Amino acid sequence: MTEYKKVDQEVIAKIIQIVGRDNVLSEDYELVTYTRDHQWVKYTDLFACKPEVVVLPEKPSQVADIVQLANRERIPVVPCGARSGMTGNCVPIRGGIQVDMKKMNKIVEIDEENLVAVVQAGIALYRLDSELRKRRFICGHRPGSQPTATVGGSISTSGWSEYRMKYGDIREQVTSLKVVLPTGELIKLGGGASGKVEKTSVGYPGLKHLFIGTWGTLGIVTEATIRIFPKPEYAYSATIAFESFEGACEATTKMLLADIPFSYLLVGNRSSVEFSRRVSPTYPDVDSIMTFTLEGKREIVEASKNVALRMCAEFGAKDVGKEVGDATFLAGYDAWGPWVTAYGPGYPLDEEGAVPYKRAPAVAKEFEAILRKYRVDNIGIVVGLARQYPILGCFWRVDERNTQKWEDYKRVSKEIAEIYLREGGTVSMAHGLGTRREEEFLQVELANSYDLMKKIKVMLDPNNIMNPGRWGLDTAYDRKEARN
């Protein structure tokens, strides 16, 4: 493993020279607040991964100077945004410098004519969206963590949006990026001369994607140009009760083949209904619930809605109205309150991946058997939010303080992941592999492209300073050392 230098007073003095004293945090009460994100952690390890110092840069040149300093001194650098990711990706597992990007939160430009916004990486999606809405636009990337997640965090985790069926995810919305490389150079990637062009065919067009979803292991995104969308004139949401989860999945496939332009569509199985009933006793006693949203011009939405409702009715489904819709807890952080409070203190976990719609009901039954086998709380299974290979989310609960169950929790996670792969899907469509299981599944899912990943990492980050210890990439440096 790479040997790193400790952050001593001399290094802190140099950091202060770059960003100023007010932007450097080293007190214990500051550092403990940078020890976790939204991944489940064994309670006894809760404050174990602490940064040695936190830096809050205010401009890109400061980010570049910090990274150069770290590269020279061999100190790990881990960038972070809102720390609302579910994989532990921004937790400084090797200590070092945590670069908190939240002070870089300016909107550089909103180009209403060309439908793009140029923003610094630390701006919260909610804040960008609020500003855009004042001008009759919206930010298309709307994950469950929208009130807190930052643009930079969404990019470096390749975040996933609940309204992806219409707008896509952030990776499809980025036209260009400004990035500080592990050796400290500040570069621009993609988007043509202005950075605003959605597609160019000049050079390697995929270069910007090297920095989308790579957890800051290849550099720090400081600025992004992303597409924005007109604020929908009208939105219609429906909540439909089905007699079976199988029927709901089949109806979904048919509606997608009919090309109904959904923004959002999610189907919950019986256990998700039971959870909603536990929280709201008047909730209907049915086997499956579907919620969908259509957005756009009113006449288009009205026409689409009529087709969708007719197709659902062919499966004997019933529109159960807004009240039930409001009490339906299918996805998103806002559902976590009820999850937590309905089951007592603990971590409501979403084990997710992708399988085809027609396999979802059978796979859901297998998942539930696993949850029963290890006696963990089953909060419900949901499927949807894609036209093909939809996300299949299995919600269950971990009590991080229960050390006796810990091995069981890991087994549940592993057995569910194996099923996603067996079905030809992916172990994670939304949140990414958490540190809890990354080594086991990386090689299986990535096959021989894993070696290419390691080569890219070594080439861009020769001293392994950027977010080290991720995805087994440290081994790339062991071999390099062995060769030398």
Partner 1 sequence: MTPMSELQKFRDALYTCSACSCGFCREDCPMFRTAMKDSAHSRGLTSLMLAFLEGKVKPSGGLAKHLNLCSTCRWCTERCPINVEYATRPPNLLIDTPKLVELLRSELLENGFAPPKVRDLLLNIKRVYNPWGSAPDHRMEWAKGLPTEPSAESTSQRIFVCCAYSYDQRAREAVRAATTVFQKARLAFVPIGSEQWCCGDMCQRLGEKALSESLAEHNIQLLENAKARDVVCLSPHCYHTIKNGPQYRSAKLNVEHYTRTLAHAIDEGRLKLYKQMKNKVAFHDPCYLGRYNSVYDEPRKVLESIQGLKLVEMYRNRKMSFCCGGGSGRILTEEPPYVERAAEERVKEALEAGADTIATACPLCLIQLTSATKSLGLERQLVAKDVVELVSEAL
Judged by the rule CB under 8 A, the positions of this chain that interact with partner 1 are 22, 25, 27-30, 32-38, 40, 43, 46-47, 54, 56, 82-84, 100, 102-103, 105, 124, 126-127, 130, 134, 145, 147-148, 279, 333-338, 340-342, 344-348, 400-401
In the complex with partner 1, the residue whose CB is nearer, 162 or 423, is: 162
**CB 243 → partner 1: shortest distance, Å?**
29
**CB 212 → partner 1: shortest distance, Å?**
22
C-alpha of 60 from chain center: 24
* SS3 state at 289: strand
Determine the Cα–Cα distance for residues 286 and 284; give it in Å rounded to an integer: 6
Q: Residue 213: which of 148, 149, 168, 159 has the closest Cα? A: 159
In the complex with partner 1, the residue whose CB is nearer, 51 or 361, is: 51
CB 419 within 8 A of CB 359: no
**CB 314 → partner 1: shortest distance, Å?**
36
In the complex with partner 1, the residue whose CB is nearer, 43 or 406, is: 43
**CB 126 → partner 1: shortest distance, Å?**
6
Residue 407's CB is within 10 A of a number of other CB atoms, namely 10
Could you give the angle at the alpha carbon of 476 between the alpha carbons of 473 and 482, nearest 5°?
150
In the complex with partner 1, the residue whose CB is nearer, 38 or 454, is: 38
**CB 84 → partner 1: shortest distance, Å?**
5
**CB 315 → partner 1: shortest distance, Å?**
33
Phi, psi of 256 (to 5 degrees): -70, -35
In the complex with partner 1, the residue whose CB is nearer, 81 or 268, is: 81
In the complex with partner 1, the residue whose CB is nearer, 126 or 236, is: 126
* Helix locations, 374-464, DSSP H: 406-422, 438-446, 449-460
In the complex with partner 1, the residue whose CB is nearer, 10 or 28, is: 28
Q: Residue 259: which of 182, 191, 311, 207 has the closest Cα? A: 311
Q: Residue 216: which of 128, 102, 99 has the closest Cα? A: 99
CB 353 within 8 A of CB 391: yes
**CB 399 → partner 1: shortest distance, Å?**
9
**CB 437 → partner 1: shortest distance, Å?**
19
The helix or strand, by DSSP H or E, that contains position 241, with its residue range, turns out to be: strand 234-242
In the complex with partner 1, the residue whose CB is nearer, 128 or 360, is: 128
DSSP class of residue 404?
G
CB 100 within 8 A of CB 112: no
In the complex with partner 1, the residue whose CB is nearer, 74 or 127, is: 127
Non-local (6+) Cβ contacts of 430 within 8 A are 160, 350, 352, 391, 393
**CB 140 → partner 1: shortest distance, Å?**
19
Determine the Cα–Cα distance for residues 322 and 298; give it in Å rounded to an integer: 19
Residue 29's CB is within 10 A of a number of other CB atoms, namely 7
